[in-house]
Amino acid sequence: MNFLATFAIALKALRVNKLRSALTMLGIIIGVAAVIIMIAVGSGARAQVEAQIRSLGANLMMVFSASPSFTGARTAAGSTHTISEDDAYAIARELPDVIATAAPTLRGSGQIVAGNSNWSTGFHGVTPEYFDVREWNLAEGRFFEAAEINGAAKVVILGKTVATNLFGDMSPIDEVVRIRTVPLTVIGILAEKGQSPGGSDLDDVVLMPITTARNRVLGATALAKSRSVGSIQIKMLDGADSKLAEERVRELLRQRHRLQPGQDDDFTLRNLTEILQTREESSRVMALLLAAVASVSLLVGGIGIMNIMLVSVTERTREIGLRRAVGARSGDILRQFLIEAVTLALIGGLIGVLLGSGGAQLIGYYAGWPIALSASATTLAVGFAAAIGIFFGYYPARKAAHMSPIEALRHE
């Protein structure tokens, strides 16, 4: 008997008991739908973490000023200035085997005013290396020039959020804004970055030359003399060991600051790449755990298929005997029942794919969760459903194929 004839007989047998076939498929439908939803939610969370890593910049490490402890108390990171521009340049110069570049940064906050509009935001005094470290491009305009850095030029680059709140849809290029009464000309608009891992708006920022921030806006004479900065943002080389890079930076800074063994660091070092990678790994593990839990439904559906197929074999014993008596071989019987089991699993899998995809979209829409539907995950779920049909359908099919024709014909 050829395959098409066997397939037609199997489908006819399934249509005879429509309700039982539908109930048998229910476990597979629920299992596949649950797997797709869980993988979509988990993949979406992981993609969000990856986007946040990219928004901060690849291989990022940060050094903040912090005073050593005094009588048991320690000030917050950045509350005092104990690191300098020279420290940043020394890190890039003396650790070329692990560090790509380093960018000193001064930070302040205040009202930025443009005409009748104003916006409260943070501003950063930066060097050209900052844009490389943070992998930040421009949507419009240009970057700072060397002469503007050296001459403390009155120029700024605005984040998208600041530009929108001050100028709406108009281009702010060559417009003048004021920060702490200092007039500054807008020369560029930063490309959008979105939210940070902590949920803050990365586009709510104003960048200016570090000399402009220090000498004109902050007006800090002491900072100017010492070339002190609030933080140093460091980009590690691709493939560099982040732990090793962290140790090398700490060792160099302690040496430059003449700190004795046992003396506390007068800076705080944070390896953001390691933190975000840990978070990404947690998201990945959680997605796998959710998918594993959902897969239990598929196994339950497979057991349901086996049970129903065993019942079907018992009910159709005389039919099996008649088919064997008129010339059907054991292989024909085996294929027929296997096709029935796989068909049930595949139809259930396809329905589960539709329900799972729709359910994932609804969850993303109403719950506001990131969702990432994957074609590979969908194919895997359907393939797994078919494999379950074969695995759990084989025993009933084998039992039917090995029945004695004479005993089957005697069955009541």
Task: Based on the fold, state whether residues 24 and 120 are members of the same structural domain.
Answer: no
Q: Distances in Å between the alpha carbon of 283 and those of 42, 46, 111, 373, 397? A: 7, 6, 38, 16, 42
pLDDT tens string 295-352: 777 777 778 778 877 877 777 777 777 777 777 778 777 877 788 788 888 888 888 8
Looking at the structure, do residues 309 and 204 belong to the same domain, yes or no?
A: no
How many residues are recorded in the chain? 412
Residue that the structure tokens 């071989």 belong to: 329
| Same domain membership, residue 45 and residue 103 | no
CA dihedral 189, 191, 195, 198 (to 10 degrees): -80
Residues 237 and 368 placed together within one structural domain of the fold: no
Task: Tell me: do 147 and 229 sit in the same domain.
Answer: yes
Classified as helix, coil or strand, 175 is coil
pLDDT (tens digit per residue) in 90-107: 999 999 999 999 999 998
Give the number of other CB atoms < 10 A from CB of residue 344: 29
The parent domain of residue 15 ranges over 3-52+278-410
CA distance 58 to 336: 56
Examine residue 65 and state whether it is found in any structural domain, yes or no. Answer: no
Whether 71 is in a domain gets the answer: no
Question: Does residue 268 lie in a domain region?
Answer: no
Separation of alpha carbons 362 and 355, rounded Å: 10
Confidence band (pLDDT; 50, 70, 90) for 255? very high
Amino acid at 358: G
Residue among 161, 159, 157, 160 at smallest CA distance from 173:
157
Same domain for 246 and 287? no
CA-CA distance, 341 to 205, in Å (whole number)? 61
Per-residue model confidence (pLDDT) at position 25: 81
Q: Confidence class of residue 172 from pLDDT cuts 50, 70 and 90?
A: very high
- For the chain, the domain total comes to 2
**Residue 66 placed within a domain:** no
**Quick one: pLDDT band at residue 53, thresholds 50, 70, 90?**
low
Question: Could you say which of 256, 291, 311 is where a domain stops?
Answer: 256
- Residue 154 domain flag: yes
- Measured between alpha carbons, how far is 97 from 240 in angstroms, rounded to an integer? 8
> Does residue 252 share a domain with residue 200?
yes
Q: Do residue 25 and residue 105 come from a single domain?
A: no
In tens, the pLDDT along 141-170 reads 999 998 999 999 999 999 999 999 999 889
Work out the widest C-alpha separation in the chain, in whole angstroms: 107
- pLDDT at residue 103, as a whole number: 93
Same domain as 137, residue 31: no
User: Could you give the angle at the alpha carbon of 221 between the alpha carbons of 217 and 226, nearest 5°?
Assistant: 115
What the block records as the tokens of 185 is 């000309």
Closest by CA to 373, choosing from 31, 102, 39, is 39
Residues 402, 305 share a domain: yes
Considering the domain architecture, whether residues 243 and 96 belong to the same structural domain is answered as yes
* Mean of the per-residue pLDDT values of the chain: 81
Could you tell me which residue, 108 or 404, shows the higher pLDDT? 108
- Please report whether residue 194 resides in a domain: yes
* Whether the predicted model's global pTM rises above the 0.85 cut: no
The answer to whether residue 147 is domain-embedded is yes
Tell me the CB-side half-sphere exposure of residue 328, using CA atoms within 13 A. 25
**Paired residues of 104 in beta bridges:** 232
pLDDT at 114: 92
> What's the rounded Cα separation, in Å, for the pair 61 and 102?
9
Query: In this structure, is residue 206 part of a structural domain?
Result: yes
Are 105 and 155 contained in the same domain? yes
Three-state DSSP at 205 gives strand
Q: Decide which of 256, 289, 306 is a domain's last residue.
A: 256
